[in-house]
Structure 1
């Protein structure tokens, strides 16, 4: 299969409408329909159910959509990494890009960079600070070469990883709230607070889930809302390092532990990435 065919199929599978898919691709509908039909013949599989009421995916189509997205993502990542490597060679710019979640693992990140800088042959590291859940995406699409991810929040499938440390979670509350003086809490107690709803973080597509909590895009905004008494949050225990006046942290005993890992593409042969992984496991 060609990448062009995969892009055609993904557009139709996501839009579930040939006309909208053709408009999205900037082409006429008849050649798009012929291309999908030719792909089905070559695969000897029906990918779409076509009725007068619309288009739906078959089981085979669902498999191809998942695989096609991954394949196209891998192609785009290869293109980005190749261009970045060529640009770095021409301009003597950063040789490796490390993605990390802004406001998380700050102490680890600082120690990691110091340890790597002390290694023989260390190159410049460009740190890409991301919003919640974005470091996984930029690692997959080639904007980063290595990333600090947090399980179970980030998906590490398809990456090589090394576990760095595991920690419990805490609730961050306004310091004047009655629960702020408790020695510990449960998830039910935290999630059931009518006066302090949990925040709503954006999904991968940028939309927000429904719920009473405020929409939040970064930790600075979140801490400000908690200080104003508009929200609470459950975060990894290292979030204590970000606390300011007016905020309190209480352990949440039954919250799942969070494991910080360093992740990189399994096909990477970068000596800089290997050096960063060694430095991370050492600190």
Structure 2
């Protein structure tokens, strides 16, 4: 089996993304001839043609398309491994948990308290980070993440912790505030927030980044929101929650790098699952939450 150096793979991925050797060389900060020679050497060693070179430019062969897709993943995995190794080598190493503010389903306090008693426990640093939380785990900026709805599980191991019904958060004086329950159709015409990276045809309001911002905008009468039931914990006095009967439940999950052999991480996952499976809800956690 032909071996590939990291530099060669990076050269090929860049050329494949640009489909132009000149632009790829500029992006890499090298001259064009060495880049072309490196890719040809890689093709000879692999015994396959990766790029078709014509007078009109460069195109990918079927083999090149495969190597581009897998090569990107390999380079990302290597970069993530370096980040994790560097963080682990620092004195006072910490486990980095990525989560959206208020996005723990009311579980995190109990998880952290129980985790502290684990023999393999290390301090936990909580970050909201920049970007999608699953991406933070994949690229090594975080070790584990609490997130809702994992559409793409590639590169991740995932454990579902909690299933929640949805509620509408409304100003206390809203026309629906006195109802015992509503349906999504009752919110037709209402302004709803837009969350980064999510597509919701019913959302016509401003883009928001955390639940505190949402609560503030609701209190100002700028919008209403449909959120997991655990948001009741964060409710202001001038807001009310009304169950939404036909809103799809939301699942809170824990995600971490697949095939991880970290003992502190394994202890954290084990603790989170144990807390989530407790039969009696903790104080402050709504009774409507459905534990797995």
Asked if these proteins are the same fold (TM beyond 0.5), I'd say: yes
Q: Which has the higher helix share?
A: 1
Are residues 150 and 202 of structure 1, via their aligned partners in 2, closer, same or farther at CA, if it must alter by over 3 Å?
A: closer
Q: How many corresponding residue pairs?
A: 268
Unaligned ranges ≥5, structure 2: 276-292
Residues 1-283 of structure 1: pairs in structure 2 closer than 5 A: 1-48=4-51, 55-87=58-90, 91=91, 93-105=92-104, 107-130=106-129, 134-152=132-150, 155-182=152-179, 183-186=181-184, 190=187, 192-193=188-189, 195-202=190-197, 212-283=204-275
Cross-structure match for 1:206: none
Larger radius of gyration: 2
Cα distance in structure 1, aligned partners of 2:174 and 2:269: 42
1:115: Cα distance to partner? 0.6
1:71: Cα distance to partner? 0.8
Are residues 144 and 39 of structure 1, via their aligned partners in 2, closer, same or farther at CA, if it must alter by over 3 Å?
A: same
1:273: Cα distance to partner? 1.3
State the Cα deviation string for residues 9-38 of structure 1 (Å, max 9, x = none). Answer: 332333343333222211223332333344
Cα distance in structure 2, aligned partners of 1:101 and 1:223: 14
Cα distance in structure 2, aligned partners of 1:6 and 1:49: 17
Cα distance in structure 2, aligned partners of 1:161 and 1:19: 42
1:136: Cα distance to partner? 1.3
Are residues 108 and 69 of structure 1, via their aligned partners in 2, closer, same or farther at CA, if it must alter by over 3 Å?
A: same
1:282: Cα distance to partner? 1.5
1:108: Cα distance to partner? 0.7
Aligned partner of residue 106 in structure 2, secondary structure = helix
Cα distance in structure 2, aligned partners of 1:219 and 1:42: 53
Are residues 36 and 99 of structure 1, via their aligned partners in 2, closer, same or farther at CA, if it must alter by over 3 Å?
A: same
Q: TM-score, normalised by structure 2?
A: 0.77
1:124: Cα distance to partner? 2.0
Aligned partner of residue 107 in structure 2, secondary structure = helix
Conservation of the 8 A alpha-carbon contact between 2:138 and 2:155: no
Unaligned ranges ≥5, structure 1: 204-208
Q: TM-score, normalised by structure 1?
A: 0.79
Conservation of the 8 A alpha-carbon contact between 1:148 and 1:262: yes
